[in-house]
């Protein structure tokens, strides 16, 4: 008698699904041709919006691709195929590019959209798997997705939707590359959340102006003690008479110095400082700056701009970085 409490092991099913999807992606990879180049060129030349639309699972994929395009600098939104026949076609202009996604390429809900695009000479990029379909024949640029074996009864949209998603990601990343979008640009499109935090620059977090604990290298340490105490950063940035940064002093250094020299108060800052402190560019990602601090086992970094690396314009403290959820 079989126990009703016996748990079934589904790992084999999971691996089979993943194997089928890997095979589908390899088939897709082999199918990439010059039509893909044409699609990327069209998307990056677009002076208006890239609009995506699909039905069912393809509609969900369309929404995701649209979101990815927008996040990498290509204005985009997705439309519901059902709503298009009830007024939403008016949101598509002649300068837009329309990307329609359909496994069969003959989905009933897409027919009115195809007619509208052709009638108004709107550039139409079709993503489909059937060469004899309405979408294939009507498209200006055809991205033919190879027929693949679906996981789950052989009919559940799985491998085919993975391929649709993958071709969309490939278009978005190719457009990013063509437009030379960098991490700072991406941060501007995606300012919040963990991604936004990871892409924050040193300039956004650094301490500036009167809050920077500057001291002249000829100042006596007795006065320097007061400044480091008042500024509450545990750090002093040392400058010469030309306002060039020549060194740094930390409260840890002062404590160590106190142990060996009871005459510390009468010494000049120059005698105590660490010369040539590490300085970073204000445009560096804060995440990279944190890595430098961890590697060097320090808590503060001088900040400069590209025009003058010897002049400190800010100070980055490890607390400012950690408080911004950058780890």
Domain ranges for the chain: 11-181, 202-322
Instruction: Supply the pLDDT for residue 4.
Output: 56
In Å, how far are 46, 228, 253, 255 from 259, measured between CA atoms?
A: 68, 19, 10, 7
Cβ atoms of 109 and 82 closer than 8 Å: yes
pLDDT, greater one: 20 or 230: 20
Instruction: Supply the pLDDT for residue 16.
Output: 93
Q: What would the mean pLDDT of 74-92 be, rounded to a whole number?
A: 86
pLDDT, greater one: 101 or 107: 101
pLDDT, greater one: 75 or 260: 75
Q: What would the mean pLDDT of 251-273 be, rounded to a whole number?
A: 79
Confidence class of residue 193 from pLDDT cuts 50, 70 and 90?
low
Q: Which CATH class is domain 202-322?
A: alpha beta
d(CA 249, CA 270): 9
d(CA 65, CA 75): 12
Confidence class of residue 126 from pLDDT cuts 50, 70 and 90?
very high
Share of the chain above pLDDT 70, in %: 93
Task: Share the mean pLDDT of the chain.
Answer: 89
Question: pTM for this structure?
Answer: 0.70
Torsion region of 320: left, alpha or beta (phi above 0 gives left; psi -120 to 50 gives alpha): alpha
Q: What would the mean pLDDT of 3-27 be, rounded to a whole number?
A: 88
Instruction: Supply the pLDDT for residue 60.
Output: 95
Of the listed ranges 16-25, 41-50, 165-174, 257-266, the least confidently predicted one is 257-266
Confidence check: pLDDT of 302 > 90: yes
Instruction: Supply the pLDDT for residue 53.
Output: 95
- In CATH, the architecture of 11-181 is 3-Layer(aba) Sandwich (3.40)
d(CA 115, CA 92): 13
Confidence check: pLDDT of 7 > 90: no
């Amino acid at each position: 008698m079989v126990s009703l409490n016996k748990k079934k092991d589904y790992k084999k099913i999971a691996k089979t699904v993943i194997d089928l999807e890997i095979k589908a992606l390899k088939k897709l990879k082999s199918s990439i041709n010059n039509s893909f180049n044409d699609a990327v060129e069209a998307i990056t030349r677009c002076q208006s919006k890239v609009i995506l639309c699909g039905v069912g699972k393809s509609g969900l994929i369309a929404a995701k691709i649209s979101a990815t395009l927008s996040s990498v600098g290509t204005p985009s939104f997705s439309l519901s195929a059902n709503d298009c026949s009830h007024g939403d076609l008016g949101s598509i202009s002649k300068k837009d590019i329309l990307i329609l996604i359909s496994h069969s390429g003959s989905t009933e809900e897409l027919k009115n959209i195809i007619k509208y695009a052709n009638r108004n000479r709107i550039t139409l990029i079709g993503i489909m798997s059937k060469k004899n379909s309405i979408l294939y024949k009507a498209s200006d640029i055809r991205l033919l997705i190879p027929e693949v074996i679906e996981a789950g009864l052989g009919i559940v949209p799985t491998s085919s939707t993975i391929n649709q998603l993958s071709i969309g990601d490939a278009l978005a990343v190719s457009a990013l590359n063509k437009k030379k979008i960098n991490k700072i640009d991406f941060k501007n499109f995606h300012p919040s959340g963990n991604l936004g935090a990871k892409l924050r620059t040193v300039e956004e977090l650094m301490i500036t102006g009167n809050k920077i604990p500057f001291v002249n290298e000829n100042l006596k340490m007795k006065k320097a003690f007061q400044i480091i105490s008042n500024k509450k950063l545990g750090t002093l940035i040392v400058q010469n008479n030309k306002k060039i940064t020549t060194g740094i002093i930390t409260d840890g250094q002062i404590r160590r110095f106190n142990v060996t020299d009871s005459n510390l108060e009468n010494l000049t800052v120059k005698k105590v400082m660490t010369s040539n402190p590490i300085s970073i560019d204000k445009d560096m990602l804060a995440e990279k700056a944190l890595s430098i601090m961890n590697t060097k086992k320090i808590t503060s970094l001088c900040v400069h701009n590209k025009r003058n690396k010897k002049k400190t314009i800010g100070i980055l403290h490890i607390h400012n970085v950690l408080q911004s959820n950058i780890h």
